[in-house]
Amino acid sequence: MSKKQAIYVISDSVGETAQKVVAAVSAQFPELNPMDIRRYPFIEDTEMLGDILQEALKEKGIVVHTLVSRDLVNFVESFCRRTSLSYVDVMSPLTTILQGITGIAPQEQPGTLHQLDQDYFDRVAAIEFAVKYDDGKDPRGMLRADYVILGVSRTSKTPLSMYLANKNLKVANLPLIPEVPLPKELMEVDKEKMIGLTTSLESLRSIRKSRLKALGLKEDSSYSSDERILEEMAYAEALYQRLGIRIIHVEKRAIEETAALILEN
């Protein structure tokens, strides 16, 4: 095959069940491996779901879902039947049979499979959340986050997000770039949940030069210039003041120290 088969794994929880089903089935087709498996956990509304289904349709993909919300299940079924998009509903067939035989209605509660070890799966969920909403990939995640971390490039937003995720906190982060408009969702976030990161010119210059060197690029680019760094820092500082949020200076601080400052408030 010249192009890998795209499979869209969709869930309103972690998505582990659907992923295991896909892995078990794909193992039976070694000539098709590796498949292009795209995982979309924690889908909670039809807007997010619709975007994924439109992409799957464009890519001629296969949808495999373990959604338990009847509204979301109906949305997928309606979309796929209307567009002839191939899909597999892992949960509904057996759920329907059990309900018919027992007369007991399902809870339609995502993640109930893992409630016996809730702390572990909460942590997995938080890590998945941090990855999904890292670097401003999808601003809608900021509205569901426990914390939203803001900062210019190389102020340790991603490592801090992942560290907090390991403490079962859902964290989104947003890079601040003067030329890039701020997402409208940012203005809807509770300021108590927002953290602004800052550092010194000297520290940021050194970190950026090291980053450019590691990438095999020239260390004296505008990215690491004093003029550019000062411009970005001034932009970030002005935004922090306008939003009225907490500011943490991260120079010479370990990720654990920064996280402790966030959590002590």
| Separation between Cα atoms, residue 18 and residue 8, nearest integer Å | 10
**156 appears as a binding residue in the annotation:** yes
**211 appears as a binding residue in the annotation:** no
**209 appears as a binding residue in the annotation:** no
**157 appears as a binding residue in the annotation:** yes
**153 appears as a binding residue in the annotation:** yes
**154 appears as a binding residue in the annotation:** yes
Q: Which residues pair with 38 in a beta bridge?
A: 8
List, as residue ranges, the binding site for ADP.
Answer: 151-158
List, as residue ranges, the binding site.
Answer: 151-158
